[in-house]
Chains A and B, each alone.
Chain A
């Protein structure tokens, strides 16, 4: 059972974009950071336990050449071995900041190169992989940035080809020891998933085809790919083989966010049908097959949910944003 906790007020509201909530948990400092996007700005808030708001900051998309305003598509914290960076993706490029958003350390302008005039150019999909930050783009290319332990000497080290349609989301997990294990998944608007390994080099391991609907969110946990789709389904695949093992008819409308609580193997799905569901992932001890059970469903009345994240690594609390909602809703288990 979950109960509503104190909400955090937003100056403004959340845009109807998928994955429109990012959370940085800093238990050592008794702090949680929240990031929400609306139009050309991103609101970064910090809160103490119990949701007491502490500080807030607005970051703006860097304008470039071109007349139309640069809209932000996503904001996300990347936890790297020696530092945490806040990454902002927009229609112009990629901005990287220190974790509290105070200083911009890097700017990468997108190359609209061979985009047709009707093509929207943007970056979307952000994840940390070891000491790299991977960012997806409108063309399907995934940009890989090499991040030094400190300072602004960030370098674009390669571009990964695997998708033909705009990237929606990227998920990574620490490689379990071996180098050849799948540790990154990328998803796109066509529903295609690409599974990669990052060491010794970024290599495409397997493609999991779509079935006619976009895949806006993806997660990776212990070799299990969890993908959510525009038709309300959550599907679980074996990362190494790409085999579909579980299909959940989870929601009545498009799913807009997926999150993972790695310590407990809990998965959170949130959709435009106003529901948030929590699932427990596991493997059958006999045959190693992926299994899932439904833990909890929460109806966030009259809210077209657009972002949802766990607020602790065990999945005992979560936060939700909704389209046009001027606050971040918080829930914790009793």
Chain B
């Protein structure tokens, strides 16, 4: 007893820790800031911020970069030259290219000659590459890089500048200033974007390390760096280059050896006259990005992009998250421009705004605001793409042309997904499947998190809990449902596991700085990471997914790639050391933000090659990713990671998804219900109502939470949630059409106000309401607790809007109040649109394939309406051969006729597959046309005349019953055409008068 007494205080301390721990695991928790760097703790960010401070506070500042006028050549849309950097006595040569593309996009690239030529020495016997990373474009850029032969230097340029006119009708101009080097991009003579206007351009050139004679410094320094402060106590303190972080940096007990020394690239990009900038996904703050240099309501840290597994991330923060898209759009009235900063290394962006007061000499209306941005990347090329708009669609279109369009997903992928960490057995999965049916709740996909594997060994099934995966998937398939199983990039380091054996023997894993296999810690414990930058690794990965190798997988199995930042539990900032080596000896620091993309790229191709039989008629892969970069949209869907069952997370999900949408990766969703913690029933219900409007709609929950499948909520919640789910299913034709628009034009699926109304300055900051595709559906889900009365919705224009459910009329512009009881979703229909629906509730979206359509024609102020429908088999690539239906429905007030026209490009419908598809859809009809805001003149009319294209008698007009209903109170009148019976894939007309 005596002995125990002596240590009892320690025990009680431990118990106390346990208690603290328990309290920490409750939902009210926040991110651990100490695990992630601030700019101050990231050497290159600190150096460049200091550089900016010096430059901006020095009135005589002159950027030391000069374009050698004699070196400038413009040939077939490609301008080349040498920029020199004056550093001490040296003039360092930085090769410059400015490319002018057919699309109207311009690209400015700066490299460093010494590194390119390999004339540098690496420290620590590093085997890393010497060049600046120049392969980001191999992953991110897939098109739009045809050089414009029309680009030409213009005469009459001021001395010391080169002017190039390019773009559509040569309306764009790049004015390249020689000294200091800088570029102004103009549209119709007006400067839209300035590069290096503030002189913050900084390319950290290679230099040898000169060891200063400070004895024994290393040791002491190491110790000091264990703490917070990574800077050296330099005595001088005046130097801009703080060498303390040039050669080595430590954080959280990990030391980065930095064999190439300092190599950051930075540049200021200004948007004169633009008050709003958007983009830089993914962050939790507002859609319209905030300033980052402090001040009231502003951030003090720059926006950071360094893909990380951020546990319990916080709201309204510029901290990095799981993915990054270094794409920014600036918005002013009737003008949108954009820049893509193509760099996959750790990147920080500072944003400030400056206002110029009204210039009495100028013609303008008072002062303008300029948004200045300062982009800082740790390594790689300086490589930016400039898009000059002027419409939002032009910018996102140009961006999507470069980085690729959203994959056209299978139909099931945009229906409802039911996920949980974890469904514990195959019987559990089957039970949940049955319970959905029993409760008449539609769903398409059920998910398995890591626990289905045997000991976290991917491509295996736990024989105890998932003894019969094929039987389970067979049951799912009976109602055309799918299974998504998780496969992560960390491979368990354990004997008798063929995957790791092959990974090692084929040498396909990421290496450490000494060029040996890198070992880290993740879910399975000790693990290795597949290096998907390696083509051989991708080939091998493909092989792993074959049905005959991944036993237990079936044609309705799809894949979830999690932890692909990559998440390494014991690594710096929960990821890999930056000096790790990838394929072709590129350092991890160079390509970190691309890592997640390479994994889903490998998985995507693997899903196309699961069996030789399937290869001849492949179905579209579905891959969910957590980490992403510009270009990931081509390969799958994304979710916003591990959120919490708390109202602020529901609220934040909307700006986050809007941001993903305008960043070219619209197939995004947030975990419905919140991952960590238990949502109240009200929160769960509201979350389903909001989730029904997420492009990617998945309910998910942490392993420690209570079960929360919709049927468990109890009444009235289950009924309300079911209505929300059925609403999603009814509107699937509209959603699928919106996905098609993303697929062919890069348009967001949920669209913020500024995107739809770029003329309405008042709506530029709005990020809590949105439009669904081009349908005119305007939603503003309730995201606040206890809000049961009404929701204020902003109407940007003078068009008429109607309640989706009650046809209540609203008129803008301005705020209107929409009823928002718990069972109500604030959802309006903008006048002038036609919305396609399928009203019959089915068990899954696959079972709706043959159901008839309902068309909702919402007449606007002018009495017209227009809408589109895109439809295909929802699973194969036959649409690429024309096997689809693409219709435009339009109603004209002048003619009182609703017509269906073919939007398919001529010639696409001729293929065999196209014909087969149309034939298969022959019997699928329009069963109902609802005209909202129907003219009062129709009162008393009982018939419409329907005619349909096609052979023989059926082409003749016939009468169909119509009924007109007066709206009461503020409600619009409506009319219902009873079963016009026209085929959805054919041309037809319905004459109302």
- The answer to whether A and B assemble together is no
